[in-house]
Structure 1
Amino acid sequence: MRYAPTFALIGTAAATAIAPRAVKTFPAGSVFDIVLEAPIIDIDLEDNEDIIATLAKTKTVICYFSAGSREDWRSDANKFGNTDFGKEMGDWEGENWVDVKSENIRTIMKNRITRAAKAGCHAVDPDNVDGYNGNQDGYGYDESAYVDYITFLADTAKANNLAIGLKNAIEIISNVKDKVQFAVNEQCHEHKECAKYQPFTKDGKAVFNIEYGTKDCSDPTDTNLSTVLKNADQKLNTLGGQC
């Protein structure tokens, strides 16, 4: 179907500031790849700050970070106060949901977005912004708290001349789609939710879909997905898998 990778999603870190530029657009149907861990391109910038600047010379680079959790291995983990995070995150050891209403959390995420801009990223992909689902964050916040949080993240990204995507959080698409430039989804084919991204396609915005094991490259009616298929075991550890 299509192969040449145009986009890469990666982790954030500090580097030399880049010149101001217009916010990047992400047309529907854009080809992309997502690699969070790989032997060829190590994109966790806490250890590889210079890679982003190199990639950005020839690719559009979207920088991944978790906006809704504290990961105890990150360099800024000590910036989180004891009340900023609580409930453990499912199967991910050392990762806990954060309080998205905390001003300190917002300061931490603002700093991450600023670091992404300085590193040379074109956009950010803040993960875990759906803690309202089944009260998985443990705080009992409803969708409105996350709409407000994503709005904050989007405003911060815009202030840094960065585009921003909505990661999953399908239930609040209608509330935030005008704030973001693209969407990143995991397993919408598997969960039969892909058609819910029609508003993004209608607005001409890309939907980057990642399927783990489910081999489905189809598009629902009036929905234009940019899909990659990742091995169910290796998931994000290897390049390739475009439809």
Structure 2
Amino acid sequence: MRIRPRRPAATRSLRRLLAAGLAAVLVVPAYGCRAELTPPGAPTAWPAGQSRHWQWQWQLTGPLDPTVDADVFLLDPVDTTAAQTAELRSENRRLICQVHVGSVRPADPDASRFPETVRGSVGRRPGSRWLDVRGWDALEPVLADRFRLCRGKGFGAVALADADGYASRTGFPLDFDDQLLFNRRLARLARSLSLSPGLVNDVPQVAALAPDFDFAVNEECVRLGQCAKLLPFADAGKPVFHVEYTGSTGDFCVTTVGYGFASIRKDRTLDASRDACPRP
């Protein structure tokens, strides 16, 4: 029987290293093929030259549909997961979170942080109550954390909902200037946390607030005859994301696209379904 000479220990170690290296070469490409996601950083940019060409989606209920043909998604920051925002960002979608800044519901995760002294009358959402926007010292820490949740989940912009309580019966003697100060403070707070601020409705204050906000979200300006009042945003090259809940796109698209708005028709449930106006 022929006995093979034993290889030196150094040679055996070298062979093992080469084998391990070959295995690493075979395994690494499987991970290297995945596109590395850019983590959220600066606030969402809205180039003025593109303001008339955005397509958008507003979804607050039902399973998120990431395949919708839209450049911009307006979503709930509590229900939307970081994995979902990462998927959308990987497709170069711009993400806006909706934060209710002027009202609170018992079901909100942070509801207990709002003192009873700043809670007023029944709000427009079921079970909600209006907040006293004059109580900035009490509201700012809670709202800042709501904004931080958006930032942490990968959103680059925030839409401020219920930012028009002064026009409702809130239980507090709020006036136009109280709301104006509150909304401007919120815009500054959003920017300090690397979020682009957007104004939801509050049409009577659009002219005064357009310089402070980067975009507007509007419900039913056609039905309410208010579209022309949103022109301070459109004329400044800032996006106006508009939705109608009645009629058809054929009824309002000519008007709103002519104004330079990004318009869609949706059900009030704000689920995944939508009909979009064509790009200009």
TM-score range, shorter chain: 0.7 to 0.9
* Preserved CA contact (<8 Å) 1:125 1:166: yes
Q: Is the 8 A contact 1:100 1:106 kept in 2?
A: no
Segments of structure 2 that go 5 or more residues without pairing to the other structure are: 1-38, 67-74
Among 184, 189, 193, the alignment partner of 2:217 is 184
What aligned pairs does 1:1-243 form with structure 2 within 5 A after superposition?
A: 18-21=39-42, 23-25=44-46, 27-29=50-52, 30-41=54-65, 44-50=76-82, 51-58=84-91, 59-90=93-124, 92-102=125-135, 103-133=137-167, 135-215=168-248, 216-219=252-255, 223-231=259-267, 234-243=268-277
- Contact 2:42–2:156 under 8 Å retained in 1: no
CA distance in 2, matches of 1:36, 1:118: 19
1:222 deviates by 6.8
Q: Aligned partners of 1:19 and 1:167: how far apart in 2?
A: 23
Deviates more, 1:183-192 or 1:77-86: 77-86
TM-score (norm 2): 0.73
String of CA shifts for 1:111-139, please: whole Å, max 9, x gaps: 11122111110100110111111x42221
Question: 1:195–1:220: 8 Å Cα contact kept in structure 2?
Answer: no
Give SS of 2:139's match. helix
Report 1 or 2 for greater relative contact order, CA contacts < 8 Å, sequence distance ≥ 6. 1
Deviation of 1:148 after TM superposition, in Å, equals 0.8
Structure 1, unpaired ranges of 5+: 1-17
Larger-gyration structure (1/2): 2
Task: Report the number of matched residues.
Answer: 223
Aligned mates of 1:241, 1:147 — CA distance in 2: 33
The offset of 1:20, in angstroms, is 3.0
Q: Give TM-score, length-normalised by structure 1.
A: 0.84
Q: CA RMSD in A?
A: 2.2
Task: Give the number of the structure whose residues are more often helix, by fraction.
Answer: 2
**1:239 and 1:222 mapped to 2: Cα distance?**
24
What's the CA shift for 1:204? 0.4
Letter in 2 for 1:181: D
1:33 and 1:82 map into 2 onto residues whose CA distance is 35
Task: Name the % identity.
Answer: 25
Residues 108 and 33 of structure 1, relative CA distance in 2, 3 Å threshold: same
